[in-house]
Amino acid sequence: MNSNQLFDQISEKQSFLCVGLDTDVTKIPPHLLNEEDPIFSFNKQIVDATQEYAIAYKPNLAFYEAHGVKGWISLQKTIAYIREKYPEQFLIADAKRGDIGNTASMYAKAFFEDMDFDALTVAPYMGEDSVTPFLGHKEKWVILLGLTSNYGADDFQFTGNPPLYEQVIKKAQFWASPDELMFVVGATRASMLGKIRKLAPNNFFLVPGVGAQGGSLAEVAKYGMNKKCGLLVNSSRGIIYADKTEKFATVATQKALELKSEMAELLKKYCK
């Protein structure tokens, strides 16, 4: 999917909601545990319940890899299901990979070709040759960690002058255009989003940390939006674990709709 198509989806649905499929068997409604593939069953119902208000889904790979082969099967089934039934959805592999040369090329093949994800999150520590192998795949995206929302972000991301995260955001723009490069920018740092938006006026930002992690959607939009929205805001727990009974899917719909409604207002206000 290219950036125009992504913006079309945002405009049409009046939403920039990404639903995080951090699917944990210890947290899903217990009645699903009797199913043959509880993770897939849960994902399928969550996707069906939220797709009207979401423009993207982001499985966090760890939750699948933790189950080894079985987990990969659940992931592949989830992706194939979304691709077939809701081909307009933008699919992000939250893998935070960072490796070089051959290795990175293998990852690119796995996620972009075999599984048909649209985007992959990548860690910048190893520099240019850990990022460029993921580039140049038609209408596929790298989402590079910029400023994360966890407390450990302070350990290294503010090192140097300008701070490391700014250097990452500036330098990476020499490697790729805004048509294949996004940045992860944590929502708990909404006030810094304005500064980061100036450094990368045209790139999409993937913003985790709204909801359960404490970020404010209104603040994120105020500081982070650009003329083509430029934001994908992720919510995981606030939607997928909002209810643990047999009504979980209905409650997920409500939660997604609440966020979508707020997003529609913010799009009207800031994205003209």
CB of 100 to a copy of itself, least distance (A): 5
Phi/psi of residue 74, nearest 5 degrees:
-60, -40
ω into residue 133 within 30 of 0, thus cis? no
- C-alpha closest to that of 148 among 158, 134, 135: 158
The smaller minimum CB distance to a copy of itself, of residues 13 and 97, is found at: 97
Phi, psi (degrees; rounded to nearest 5) at 17? -85, 130
Nearer to a copy of itself, 28 or 263 (CB): 28
Q: At its nearest, how many Å lie between a copy of itself and the CB of residue 38?
A: 15
Distance of CA 260 to the CA centre of its chain: 16
Catalytic residue among 13, 44, 77, 96: 96
Residue 203 tokens, joined: 């790139």
Q: How far apart are CA 63 and CA 72, in angstroms?
A: 10
Q: Where do contacts with a copy of itself occur on this chain (CB under 8 A)?
A: 22, 24, 60, 62-63, 65-69, 71-73, 76, 96-104, 106-107, 109-110, 114-115, 123-131, 145, 148, 150-157, 159-161, 164, 167-168, 171
Q: How far is the CB of 70 from a copy of itself (least distance, A)?
A: 9
Instruction: Say which residues have a Cβ less than 8 Å from residue 30's Cβ, sequence separation at least 6.
Output: 244
When the beta carbons of 29 and 59 are compared against a copy of itself, the nearer one is 59
Question: Who contacts 212 (Cβ-Cβ below 8 Å, separation ≥6)?
Answer: 235, 236, 237, 238
- Output the smallest distance, CB 196 to a copy of itself, in A: 16
- What single string gives the DSSP state of each residue in 50-100? HTTT-SEEEEBHHHHHTTHHHHHHHHHHHHHHHHHH-TTSEEEEEEEE---
Q: What is the C-alpha separation between 252 and 19, in angstroms, rounded? A: 10
If the CB atoms of residues 12 and 101 are measured against a copy of itself, the closer one turns out to be 101
Q: How far apart are CA 21 and CA 45, in angstroms?
A: 11
**For a copy of itself, which is the closer residue by CB, 234 or 253?**
234
In whole angstroms, how close is the CB of 176 to a copy of itself at the nearest point? 14
244 flagged as catalytic = no
Catalytic residue numbers? 96
